[in-house]
Amino acid sequence: MSKVDRRILKTQDALKKAVIELMSEKNFDDITIQDLSDTANVSRGTIYLHYLDKYDLLDKLIEEHIEVLRKLCESASELGFIEATLTWTEYFDRNYSFFSMMLASKGAPYFRNRFLSFLLDEFRHEVTTTEGINEGLHEEVIISFVASAYAGVVEWWFKNERPVTYQVLAEQLGTLLERNL
């Protein structure tokens, strides 16, 4: 595997930070390539060397965070719900500016749908309807319920500017997951 030039990584990082910064100021649809260029301090041509357009930039940024969450799930598969949720909430906290922009504003409604879809996939293997509290219930209803509730609580946390610590959020979300799955 070839090593990526640090200048490329630095430029891409500057563009990702620029889009988040600009989304805190205006609606994503109103952001121009020139806005990104000025904020990231790169030429318009440089942007097009890395991304097709601003939508491609946002999509790649979203996919990057979803992929990290997926890897966190894989590495926490042997943990209980509270401990596994702690890895996520810590990541949410470390990347507060991105997630708050994606979940607490009108900046990117696409992200919430993408996040919910990701949660549906992740919770699918956790649900059983053959025994326990969910016996006899329709599996898709349970999966949809849990994923929607999880996304809603995370969204609430960002919209209310972290009213509890990420540790408390993890403990309470993990407890709720244990009770419902």
> What would the mean pLDDT of 14-25 be, rounded to a whole number?
93
Say how far apart CA 34 and CA 31 lie, in whole Å. 8
Q: How many domains does the chain have?
A: 2
In percent, the amount of the chain with pLDDT more than 70 equals 97
CATH of the domain at 41: 1.10.10.60
Instruction: Mark 106-129 as b/e (b = at least 16 C-beta within 10 Å).
Output: ebbeebeebbbebbbebbeeebeb
* One domain for residues 18 and 88: no
Whether residues 79 and 156 fall in one domain: yes
What would the pLDDT profile of 108-156 be if each residue is shown by its tens digit? 678 989 999 999 999 998 877 777 888 888 989 999 999 999 999 999 9
pLDDT of residue 107: 55
Q: Are 177 and 146 in contact (CB under 8 A)?
A: yes
pLDDT value for 11 = 96
pTM over 0.85: yes
Regarding whether 68 and 35 lie in a shared domain, the answer is no
C-alpha to C-alpha distance for 64 and 134, rounded to whole angstroms: 34
Lookup result for tokens 């563009």:
15
